[in-house]
Amino acid sequence: MSCSSAVDPSACQACRLAEHRSRVVLPDGPREGVLAIGEAPGRQEDVSGVGFVGIAGLNLEAAFAACGLAREQWARSNIVRCRPPENRKPRADEVRSCAHWLDRVVDDWLPRVLLAVGQSAAARLIPPWTGSFLSHVERLLLPETGLPVYRGVPVVPMPHTSPLAWNRRRPDGTPIRELGLRAVRRAVILARDPT
Ligand code: URA
């Protein structure tokens, strides 16, 4: 890791993703509310340098809008800040290289809630679980289940909003997006009233 990568986030060369990216996608949005944390920038994010502007971002935006929050009212980040080639999943060493950037945002921005968008983000922020990711999300959304906490901030996990995941149904026939909407609603309510 070069020293300059610790100084200028936009010039980070800490992992191999730097070789392929067009732009580092920095976190954006208001502090002290809901911070949505995704897996990694996609093609449109890589080109624009702005997080969650592709289809997955629009799906997430629509979910927030359904819960009363416009895009300007929630914040965005990712577990890695550079697009992996061909949109592959970020590798463990890439996630580790980027960890201090995300931790700094969580510590400095004082979000009230972290919304982990998809399994990769959840695996980065909450303890390992057994069984399927979606069953775990459902369990954590029950009022009687305590939410996991990351660096002092409650984490609400949700299914990823990429069309492939978002538009599917669970084995019992319920749409995955319904579970996602429940998660976003929980995060929005918690950010308004953390008690
Ligand atoms: N866009 C992002 O910035 N992150 C995701 O996880 C998906 C789309």
Ligand 1 centre to CA of 51 (Å) is 6
The ligand 1 atom at the shortest distance from the C-alpha of residue 38 is 6
From the CA of 122, how far away is ligand 1's center (Å)?
A: 13
Under a CB-based contact definition with an 8 Å cutoff, are residues 37 and 116 in contact? Answer: yes
- Residue pair 42/59 in contact (Cβ under 8 Å)? The answer is no
Question: Is the Cβ–Cβ distance between 116 and 125 less than 8 Å?
Answer: yes
Q: Are 100 and 124 in contact (CB under 8 A)?
A: no
Token pair belonging to 42: 């996609």
The full DSSP string for 29-95 is S-SSSEEEEES---HHHHHHS-SS-SHHHHHHHHHHHHTT--GGGSEEEESSSSPPGGGPPPPHHHH
Supply the pLDDT for residue 194.
75
The residue whose CB lies within 8 Å of the most ligand 1 atoms, and thus the one to mutate among 47, 48, 71, 117, is: 117
CB-based burial of residue 82 (10 Å sphere; 0-12 exposed, 13-18 middle, 19+ buried)? buried
Q: How far is the CA of 6 from the centre of ligand 1 (A)?
A: 23
Predicted pLDDT at 2: 44
Q: What is the pLDDT of residue 6?
A: 54
Q: What is the pTM of this model?
A: 0.95
Nearest residue to 161 (alpha-carbon basis) of 74, 57, 82: 57
The predicted pLDDT at position 25 comes to: 98
pLDDT in tens for each of the 195 residues of the chain? 444 445 699 999 999 999 999 999 999 999 999 999 999 999 999 999 999 999 999 999 999 999 999 999 999 999 999 999 999 999 999 999 999 999 999 999 999 999 999 999 999 999 999 999 999 999 999 999 999 999 999 999 999 999 999 999 999 999 999 999 999 999 999 999 877
Question: To test the ligand 1 pocket, which listed residue (45, 76, 81, 94) has its Cβ within 8 A of the most ligand atoms?
Answer: 45
CATH 3.40.50.1010 fits 3-192, yes or no: no
* Pocket-forming residues, ligand 1, beta carbon under 6 Å: 38-42, 45, 51-52, 54, 56-57, 78, 117
Sequence spans of domains, the chain:
3-192
